[in-house]
Amino acid sequence: MPAKFTRSVLLLIPIALSTPGLAFGDDITEAASKIDEVLSAHWKTESVVPAEPANDSEFLRRVYLDIAGRIPLVSETREFLKDTRADKRHRAIEKLLASPNYVTNFANIWTKALIPEAQGDQLLRQQLPTFDAWARQKLADDVRYDEMVREILSMPLSQEQIAASLQRADDPTPRAFYVAKELKAENLASSASRMFLGVRIDCAQCHDHPMDKWTQNDFWGFAAFFAGVSPAGGNFNAFNTQIQVNDVKRSLKIPDSEKVMQATFLDGQIPDWESDSETRAVLADWVTSPQNPYFSRMAVNRVWGHMFGTGLVDPVDDFSDENPPMFPELLDLLAEQLIANDFNIKAIIRIIASTKTYQLTSRRSHASQDQPQQFARIVPKGLSPEQLFDSVAAATGFYQPFRIGNQLQIQNPNARTEFLEEFNNQADSVVERETTILQALSMMNGSFISNATDPAQSQTLAAVIDAPFMTNEDRIETLYLATLCRKPTKSEQSKLTKYLTSGGPQKDSTRALSDVFWALLNSSEFLFNH
């Protein structure tokens, strides 16, 4: 029997899909408890039966993927499972938030959220390194979220600066946000309102919004804040654009009309301008103000959506009268916590990860858990391309990040780039993310996975095979911990031990162990965050 067919058969071996500890810090404890109380009261009223608490293995894998963007290493899993301290889950959360992996993961999250155009445009993707480097720098320095947004909206722009950002991949700057929007006021207004305020005013660009309160005047009044940024002559080329910049321009003519709109906030207020006020700086102050309810609620909703796969308002950037939040009190609570913690996103992650709700299992035990918006169990989320690659790398020992100065060095970066290109099919919702046939074939037979499960190239396999003190049971357990972050069930252990002992169809114990590793990496349990 060919090796690849043997491996496909191994996928038929059933692999199962998966206690909260004490909270840390009075503020975190209180906020997390309030979230659980609101949801618990709702479940009781609606006869919803919540899932059981997740076990330690399930929690650890989930929190690593959500905060660090990868699964834990075998050593990290063993250490956590042996820890008997009551607050070990909160220690794990703190450890992850203080790690470089948090910076890398959330820089990628913010970059994708703020420059979504680049996902389908190879030329635009070349602009991402400078934005990603800027986001990493800000996250590493624990810069407040409102300050990051203010810097994006009000940053100085000039032809020389744009040219520099296009030529220097190591220049940390958010200028790619403007380049991705083609330096058009209407594109910048649509993106800024959606990304930072959760307001989709796009449909009001040509006419009054058909299903919401926004008018065409609202759209162009908001777009007027970006009137001073435009490509000369109206023609944009990402690599050769002459830029017109006027930081005090405050009006914009609606296309195909004679009407000129003055820069106006979305609440209908016109700024009280000073003679030397920079237009985008005034907008940035209004957007990021603690008194602006859109800003803080949008920020925490995005974090909630990342952690649960579904926002309190879903889609996460679509706040409207027609799309109210399922639990408005939770949205307000988290927004208040964000403001009280000086717009520190880490505080919101701590609160959410500390809730009993986040620490429920993903295993369905009652029909009332079927609606994701009830948050009565964790809904499995498809791994992003970055999470998938970095998790395979962590499991196989292929990739280990290390730092020289401020630069992140990656073993064989071409393999990562090629993998991300192949798996670049983002869905609006992570719970609806699908795998294409080509991607499935790549995971089953592609060179990256083949090399990663080759004993000559996989550090994990080599270590397991060469360890003379290990039994076959030990080897299987180690591979489970490396991939699924749990120990095998008795049934799994029994079946796979027999498979290793027999050497598989090729009567080769090394080949058989490699087949087991391959099957685990291709299992649904590995490919989802649950």
Same structural domain, 225 and 270? yes
Please answer whether residues 309 and 429 qualify as being in contact, where contact means their C-beta atoms are separated by less than 8 angstroms. Answer: yes
Same structural domain, 262 and 175? yes
Q: Reduced to 3 states, what is the DSSP secondary structure of residue 10?
A: helix
Q: What is the pLDDT of residues 256-308, one digit of tens each?
A: 888 999 999 999 999 988 877 899 999 999 999 999 989 999 999 999 999 99
Domain boundary among 287, 312, 342: 287
Q: Any bridge partners for residue 140, and if so which? A: none
CA pair distance 262, 41, nearest whole angstrom: 47
DSSP string covering 437-461, please?
HHHHHHHHH-HHHHHHT-TTT-HHH
What 462-468 contacts at long range (C-beta under 8 Å, 24+ apart), as own/partner pairs, is 463/397, 464/513, 465/510, 465/513
Query: Is residue 117 in some structural domain?
Result: no
Please answer whether residues 145 and 299 qualify as being in contact, where contact means their C-beta atoms are separated by less than 8 angstroms. Answer: yes
Same structural domain, 319 and 400? no
Q: What is the pLDDT of residues 335-387, one digit of tens each?
A: 999 999 999 999 999 999 999 999 999 999 999 999 999 999 999 998 888 89
Same structural domain, 419 and 499? yes
Same structural domain, 423 and 444? yes
pTM of the model: 0.89
Same structural domain, 266 and 323? no
Q: Is the pLDDT of residue 405 over 80?
A: no
Q: Which of 357, 180, 185, 157 lies closest to 254 in space, CA to CA?
A: 185
Query: Is residue 331 in some structural domain?
Result: yes
Domain holding 333, by residue range, is 26-102+293-370
- Percent of all residues in the chain with a pLDDT value above 70, rounded to a whole number: 82
Q: Which of 233, 247, 229 lies closest to 180 in space, CA to CA?
A: 229
Residue 12, judged by CB atoms within 10 A of its CB (0-12, 13-18, 19+), counts as: exposed
Give the total number of structural domains in the chain.
3
Report pLDDT for 163: 57
Report pLDDT for 1: 37
Q: Which of 173-177, 287-291, 331-335, 499-503 has the lowest mean pLDDT?
A: 173-177
Same structural domain, 195 and 333? no
Same structural domain, 222 and 362? no
Domain boundary among 266, 287, 308: 287
Rg (CA), the chain: 25
Q: Which of 193, 189, 178 lies closest to 226 in space, CA to CA?
A: 189
Same structural domain, 497 and 386? yes
Report pLDDT for 24: 41
Query: Is residue 253 in some structural domain?
Result: yes
Query: Is residue 35 in some structural domain?
Result: yes
Give the model's confidence band at 490: pLDDT under 50 very low, under 70 low, under 90 confident, else very high: very high
| Length of the chain measured in residues | 530
CA pair distance 416, 443, nearest whole angstrom: 14
Query: Is residue 442 in some structural domain?
Result: yes
Same structural domain, 213 and 304? no
CA pair distance 75, 64, nearest whole angstrom: 14
Single-letter amino acid, residue 350: R
Domain boundary among 264, 287, 310: 287
Note if the bond before 315 is cis, omega within 30 degrees: yes
Same structural domain, 73 and 172? no
Q: Reduced to 3 states, what is the DSSP secondary structure of residue 188?
A: helix
Query: Is residue 21 in some structural domain?
Result: no
Same structural domain, 517 and 416? yes
Query: Is residue 115 in some structural domain?
Result: no
Query: Is residue 108 in some structural domain?
Result: no
Report pLDDT for 28: 87
